[in-house]
Amino acid sequence: MKTSVEENKAGQSELKALKAKVREGKVPYETYVEQKKRLKKKLGFYKGSKKQLPVVMLPRPIIVPRDDNAFSILSAARSGLRKAGYSEKDSELVLAKAKEGDYDHLIQIIMKYVIFK
């Protein structure tokens, strides 16, 4: 089940509080590990990222970039995400994550949110 960004933040703070209890010896480590797995599965964390991508999936818009240039793809994706109903913050977060790697990484991240035509 995918959740909103606010629920992700609440889940992260819940994990931090549980981790503090483990350090104090109030909760066994195994309980923490089980809770962490359950929350990560529920919240749909994007693995390997400190920034949380939007996990509330709206309908994927169809975009037609002018060419295979990365900037053209980013521009088309930005307008497509906005038309699909993503907030400015969520669309910028997707684009920022896409820009973190090489061209293949950009395509992989963008394809999770839009359909190329």
Specify the pLDDT at position 50. 52
**89 half-sphere exposure, CB direction, 13 A CA radius:** 7
Average pLDDT, the chain: 78
Question: For the chain, what percentages of helix, strand and coil (3-state, to nearest 5) are there?
Answer: 60, 5, 35
Specify the pLDDT at position 48. 46
Per-residue pLDDT tens digits for 9-50: 777 788 888 888 888 888 888 888 888 777 776 665 544 445
Specify the pLDDT at position 112. 85
Is the pLDDT reported for residue 77 higher than 80? Answer: yes
Specify the pLDDT at position 49. 47
Q: Which residue has the tokens 């037609």?
A: 64
Which two tokens mark 111? Answer: 């394809």
Residue 41 has a CB neighbour count (10 Å cut-off) of: 10
Choice between 113 and 10, residue whose per-residue pLDDT is larger? 113
First to last CA, the chain: 28
